[in-house]
Amino acid sequence: MTVEDLYAQIDGNYAHAVQIMKKDKMISKYLLKLKNSGLIENLQAAGESLDPVAMFESAHAMKGVTANLGLDTLSDKVSALTEEFRQGSSRKYSDDEVKAMLEDICALYQKTADGISEYEQSIQ
């Protein structure tokens, strides 16, 4: 399984990833790191309390990493959460809607993580 195959499987933007990381090796390195980064866990924890600061911090961190990796769909979804909890902007979604967004993000992340695991096995 190649990195490009993986991106096709997880709906990632391979071209974008290459534009940023230049090499498959580097993309691969950080995809594997993403799995153990704890970013999604932080976001889920913040989602439990819906504490605005925690939500913003965790979403902002995840948005940056996923954008660097060309995981554009995931990055866009997390970006919506970032803007929702950005200090100084008014909330646009209800708590229930935010939780639904979180579930959507977790599901997409899970699909990405599964794909990465599969890729990891294929290169071992």
**Integer Cα distance of 124 and 118 in angstroms:** 10
- In 3D space, the residue among 78, 77, 35 whose CA is nearest the CA of residue 56 turns out to be 78
Q: In this complex, which beta carbon is closest to another protein, that of residue 46 or of residue 67?
A: 67
Sole binder of another protein in the list 5, 51, 83, 120 (CB under 8 A): 83
| Separation in Å, CA 98 to CA 2, 57, 62, 66, 88 | 35, 15, 16, 19, 18
| Residue 105 binds another protein (CB under 8 A) | no
CB of 12 to another protein, least distance (A): 12
Residue 72 within binding range of another protein, rule CB under 8 A: yes
Q: Does 30 bind another protein (CB under 8 A)?
A: yes
Binding of another protein by 65 (CB under 8 A): yes
CA-angle at 67, arms to 63 and 72, nearest 5°: 100
Largest CA distance in the chain: 48
By CB under 8 A, residue 45 contacts another protein: no
Q: How far is the CB of 110 from another protein (least distance, A)?
A: 19
